[in-house]
Amino acid sequence: MRERLTLSPEAENLPHEAKEALTFECKKVTSKLDGPNGEHADLSVAVAEKDGNLRHVNFWDLDKTLLVAEPIHAKAVEQIFPENAKTDELRSELHKVYFDGFKLGNSFREWDRMWRIY
């Protein structure tokens, strides 16, 4: 996929050389690193049209391993609330309540909720 980005109206008033430096093309590149399930991440990169140099790339969590944190979080929440993790049934409920809290938007709200419930 090739996409040429256009300049904002404010940038149109810049000198020609400055405009050339801001003109770039977005390209998709597939990572050669395997994720935990064999998937390969797609990256967006911005390449300057004038000199072909890389202008921007976002490669956070390139191999998709940073987001696979459920096993670590599950063990941690069991240690924080051990009274609610004594049986498989209690552990399962604790994990469900904890992971449902991820939809709240930030860790402060998630943990505040957990402390109030447990």
pLDDT tens digits along 44-103: 777 777 777 766 666 565 555 555 677 888 999 999 999 999 999 999 999 999 988 877
State the pLDDT at residue 46.
78
Instruction: Please count the CA atoms within 13 angstroms of the CA of 54 that sit on its side-chain side.
Output: 8
- Could you list the beta-strand ranges (E) of 1-118: 2-4, 24-30, 42-48, 54-57
Note the pLDDT of residue 75.
92
What residues form DSSP beta bridges with 111?
none
Q: Could you tell me whether strands 24-30 and 2-4 are parallel, antiparallel, or unpaired per DSSP bridges?
A: antiparallel
User: Residue 93 corresponds to which tokens in the numbers above?
Assistant: 């409920």
- Please report the pLDDT score of residue 2 as a whole number: 46
Report d(CA 54, CA 90) in Å as an integer. Answer: 51
The pLDDT score that the predictor gives to residue 77 is: 93
pLDDT over threshold 60, residue 1:
no
